[in-house]
Structure 1
């Protein structure tokens, strides 16, 4: 239909709805129709199976629109003396560097962040090095090698 904007959000997606370039809502899977006489409505889709939200406005959106995003997004900010171990359903999937900020979609898989204080000792615990050495993720294996490898 003319002047109607339609969005069909897939089961594995969520979308950010913008009206006149202002954040309006998070759209769940489903079909949506909006009157859009002047072309001011848009939706940005995200595959939530990728878990991490990579968007230029992610930090702004989770802090400025807490009510609209709190059911969908989880934000993690590390201090300059912390390293973060990101687990998905109990499996180590990412290492966050000091001072980093990440936003993850809430969903069927549980995302958990374990913080390691490196202010006194920047050494990686031996049990963690063993875990990193067995990791399937190449990024995690490289992290183990950079920290002295497995002995």
Structure 2
């Protein structure tokens, strides 16, 4: 015989010839030599020394154990006194009952939504390896697609779903006003002038389902649509008309794209042309035309000024002809101008010089 001691919060399983004999609680016991004893802590998992189902044939064992069976499409969360303990995958598990309260929550992995009453802290810490998360920024919206099917629109926030074999996709889009550059477009005008165009368009998404789910690569579609509208507008104008009507392109683009962009879930806000780039030879020709125009304008202005000057001289001459005093004043004005340029005057001659000066300046 042999003596065993079972302490408080322990339980002993006695087998005889690999068959259940009895359970022992706290105390001291004498056992025969052909009896095996296995001592366990209450509240811990039970690692059965023989087939568990054989032991569960006995009411005494059923009464002492909590048996948890997890299906293939499930996982089980164990709580100890309402605190998270552990997670089990598919299988059969047994725990010795104790003074602690153990509860279990089964999770069906055939779904993705977390419908169980778990706190966000528990999901983001203990259960994080078993969930997948997606974050949608405050300025974004998302489209939830499950197994290729649209489910719902996601506003800004962080979302958690159970991790399983179900396919989940979240297509996100920026809901702020966006700008698309249309650069380096080579286009022929109506008069066959080849030019390059740099333009831009401002838009925003109004229907994320149409933009992200019902259409593929909505931004490329916006680009191509604007490209075609620009070609239509420029192809219908000569180069001179285009340069004169450059600002009217906004109205044309808005009018011809608004309805088409509705199908993409997009609203156009504005557009414009940054640059119109002419080829090198075309630039030279345009510069020559501009220079010729400016020269012609300069010649017209010069002729106009010369005509005005001659008319002024003619009027002055008529006045001087009619008024001798005015003639003398004009004569003195010119003498004064000549005198301003003379520093010294040297006079030489015979004694008759005063008589000669008198004859010049004094009227008879």
Unaligned runs of 5+ in 2: 1-61, 178-203, 216-261, 266-364
Q: Report the counterpart of residue 138 of structure 1 in structure 2.
A: none
Unaligned runs of 5+ in 1: 132-147
| Aligned residue among 85, 104, 124 for 1:24 | 85
Q: Report the counterpart of residue 75 of structure 1 in structure 2.
A: 133
| Aligned residue among 103, 122, 127 for 1:42 | 103
For residue 83 of structure 1, give the secondary structure of its aligned residue in structure 2: strand
Separation of aligned partners in 2, 1:38 and 1:117: 55
**Structure 2 residue 150 is the aligned partner of structure 1 residue 92:** yes
Which structure shows the higher strand fraction?
A: 1
CA deviation profile, 1:94-114 (whole Å, cap 9, x unmatched): 322223x43211112222222
| Aligned residue among 163, 173, 191 for 1:116 | 173
Greater relative contact order (CA < 8 Å, ≥ 6 in sequence): 1
**Does the 8 Å contact 1:75/1:104 carry over to 2?**
yes
**Does the 8 Å contact 2:80/2:100 carry over to 1?**
no
How far apart are residue 73 of structure 1 and its match? 0.9
Separation of aligned partners in 2, 1:31 and 1:110: 28
| Aligned residue among 65, 69, 73 for 1:4 | 65
CA 43–108 in structure 1, closer or farther in 2 if over 3 Å, else same? same
**Structure 2 residue 103 is the aligned partner of structure 1 residue 103:** no
How far apart are residue 4 of structure 1 and its match? 1.6
Structure of higher CA gyration radius: 2
Q: Report the counterpart of residue 33 of structure 1 in structure 2.
A: 94
**Does the 8 Å contact 2:113/2:162 carry over to 1?**
yes
Aligned pair count reads 131
Q: CA-atom RMSD, angstroms?
A: 2.8
How far apart are residue 43 of structure 1 and its match? 1.0
Separation of aligned partners in 1, 2:135 and 2:153: 13
**Does the 8 Å contact 1:4/1:37 carry over to 2?**
no
Separation of aligned partners in 2, 1:130 and 1:90: 12
Which structure shows the higher helix fraction?
A: 2
How far apart are residue 11 of structure 1 and its match? 1.9
CA 80–90 in structure 1, closer or farther in 2 if over 3 Å, else same? same
**Does the 8 Å contact 1:4/1:33 carry over to 2?**
yes
How far apart are residue 18 of structure 1 and its match? 0.9
